[in-house]
Amino acid sequence: MAVLVGGIAASHTPTIGFAVDRDKASDPVWAPIFESFQPLRDWIDERKPDVLLFVYNDHVTSFFFDHYSAFTLGVGEQWAVADEGAGARDLPAIQGDPAFAEHLGRSLMADEFDMSFFQDKALDHGCFSPLSILCPRSESGWPVRLVPLQVGVLQFPIPTARRCYRLGQALRRAIESYPEDLRVAIVATGGLSHQVHGERAGFNNTEWDQRFLDLIEQDPEQLADMTHAEYAELGGIEGAEVIMWLIMRGALSAQVKCTHRSYYLPSMTGIATAIYENQSAPPAPSEQRRRAEKVSAQLAGAERLQGSYPFTIERSVRGYRINRFLHQLVVPGFRARFLADQEAEFERSQLTPIERDLIRRRDWRGLIQYGAIFFMLEKLGAVVGMSNLHIYAAMRGQSLEDFQQTRNAPGALYSVAGKDAGALQWDSPAVTPAAA
């Protein structure tokens, strides 16, 4: 079973990454930052977590306001460094843990947290600024895997402090019910007091910062009851992001042991670091069994539905590349290039030989079994002039005529093809000989 080895907290200001990249460890101005992070680095080296569950907020780098989520969990295989305006930092990508992330997602949804999930997004300084000083790395990569949990704290309304605390409690249940042997540390980032906009830019409150550090250890319930306006008054509008620390704190036991705490205010943001260790026993086996049953309850029995393939996170991760390729067919320029030379687009997108073959042969059933979702198939059908009904028939291994006889309106053919559709070749057979 997975073990939650403890929680650590750290500010994620970009000044940290700046100091690391420019080797400022011996500079008197920057040295306190390195000194404050060294105990965290030693703790990770000693406790050797396999995975860091990283709670952070993106700074409108990879997430924009066209779709802004409260809680979104990274389920991808790898996380690259984001370019925040003048080139990405010279850091290697870090590996994810899709299987563990999927379990977290299923468990949180079972606890009625309506999560969003993401893949293939670069992580900005919210993650890589503290990570670059927390862990050693080499050209071969990092000594840990990372599962990012992005919290939308920039566009109000944002999650309440209480909701963050309860999410942390749900995360603990999720971590401790994961059936594989895994050592997990939860990392909370952000804060402390700061404001970076308006006439109040440059606001700090060191007295509040110290009080917050006392309360997060000793009385998180008091912090969970505070409003966003109270956090903003005490710590600045952007400083309200410290509610993310409550996610980490909620994942730990009621009583914790703080083995390290530091604070330094060099410029705009109060930089704090802390380590917290659980003071409670792991859950009983009976509790773990009940948890496992709750997590799997919603899809229990679905495996008996012959010819059905629920689009789970596992399938989404496995089929991400081919789904992304087919999704680009909604872009007119890509659509035109695909119709002109699909082989060139296969090469440009680095599809595998299997993926190329499935698309080349229009193997609709094979695409579904591989991990494509149907709604990419109907886009491909619309582009190449095949109706939805052709695709349905092919997936069932039937001729279009035989499938149509099972419908109430046998003559109805349709697709999602829009105004740019060419001649619809709906007199073509539904099943190609190679795919039958």
Q: In what order do the strands lie in the sheet with 145-151?
A: 116-118, 71-74, 145-151, 51-56, 182-189, 2-10, 271-278, 256-264
Count Cβ neighbours within 10 Å for each residue of 90-104 and write b for 16 or more, e otherwise.
ebeebbbbbebbbbb
Q: What are phi and psi of 185, to 5 degrees?
A: -120, 135
- The single residue of 12, 103, 194, 390 carrying the catalytic annotation is 194
Q: Which residues of 3-33 are buried (b: 16+ CB within 10 A; e: fewer)?
A: bbbbbbbbbbbbbbbebbeeebeeeeebeeb
Is 67 an annotated catalytic residue?
no
**Integer Cα distance of 244 and 152 in angstroms:** 10
Q: Of the listed 103, 125, 228, 260, which one is catalytic?
A: 125
Q: Does the annotation count 125 as an active-site position?
A: yes
**What is the spatial distance between Cα 147 and Cα 97, in angstroms, rounded to a whole number?**
6
Please list the active-site residues. Answer: 125, 194
